[in-house]
Amino acid sequence: MKGPLSTEHVEDRVRSTMIRRAEDMAAGDGAAWDPTDTVRPLGRRALTEHPPRSRPLAAVVAVVVVIAGAAAGLGVANHDDPSRRADTTAGGDADRPRAEGPFEGEVPRSTTPPTVPGPDSGQILGTTLATYVRTTDGAVVEVRWFPPEALELPNPPGSEDLRAGGYRANYWEGSDQQVSSLALFFEDGILRINGDEVGMREDLLAFADGVRRIPGRTEPEVTPPPGYAPG
C-alpha cells in the first residue's frame, strides 16, 4: 500500500538506511578479512559467479605487495591459499583454481630464465603510494601501495618484521571481486616472488591477468623511492 508520508518520516528512513548500509559495509569488511587469509570470501564467491574474463569491466586482480626494507634481506613466503586462486593465465579457465606453479603450487613458472633486473625488468617507477612496474615486454603495470595499518592483512609467515620496515599494498581494479592476491617482495631493490627474481610477463602479468596496464606509459612519473630502485 502506498500513501503519503511525512517529510520527517521519509528523512528518517533515508537517514537510517544510509547509516545501516554504511554499517553493513563496515561490518562486511571486517567479517571478510580473515586474519589468517588474504583472500576475501566475496572474492572467492565471485570467482564462480562472475568469471572475470566474461566481464570486460571486471578485470580484477588484487596484488598484495609487501615491500621489504631494502637492506632487510628477509626471506619471502607466499601466504595465499592456492586453492582459492583462479587460473587467469592466457587461455586459462577463470573458474578453475590453479593446479601447479612455483608459488606453492599455484602459478605456472615462466619457461624463460629470470630476467636480470634492469631498466626494463621489474623496475619500480612510482612512489610509495602508487607505483608502476615495467615489465619485460615494456608494459607498465600499476600497483597500489597502502600503509600496512590500513590493510589489516596478515604478515606472511616468518616475516613479522616487514610491517615495521615497509608497506603492504592491495591492488584493486574495477570491482571488489578479488580474483587472487599475490605477494611481491622487493629485496635490495629487486622484485622477487618466493625469492625468485620475477620474469614479469609470465609470472606477474599472466598470473594477474587483470592488473591495470597503462597504455603508452613508458617513463616514470616520479622518482622511485630511495632504496627501491634497481641498482
Among 80, 87, 173, 203, binds another protein (CB under 8 A): 173
Residue 144 touches another protein, criterion: CB under 8 A = yes
- Using the rule CB under 8 A, give the single segment among 39-47, 83-91, 133-141, 188-196 that binds another protein: 39-47
Residues of span 63-102 touching another protein by CB under 8 A: none
Q: Which stretch binds another protein (CB under 8 A): 57-65, 90-98, 154-162, 180-188?
A: 57-65
DSSP one-letter string for the chain:
------HHHHHHHHHHHHHHHHHHHHHHHHHH--TT-SS-HHHHHHHHHS-GGG-GGG-----EEE---TTT-------S-GGG-B--STT--TTSBP---TTTTSSPPPSSPPPPPBTTBSEE-S-SSEEEEE-TTS-EEEEE-B-HHHH-PPPPTT-TTHHHHS-EEE---SSS------EEEEETTEEEETTEEP-IIIIIITTSTT--B-TT--S-SSPPPTTTS--
The residue from 34, 71, 104, 147 that contacts another protein (CB under 8 A) is: 147
User: In the complex, which residues of this chain contact another protein (CB under 8 A)?
Assistant: 1-5, 7, 10-11, 13-22, 24-29, 31-32, 41-42, 45-46, 49-50, 55, 57-58, 60, 127-130, 144, 146-147, 149-150, 172-177
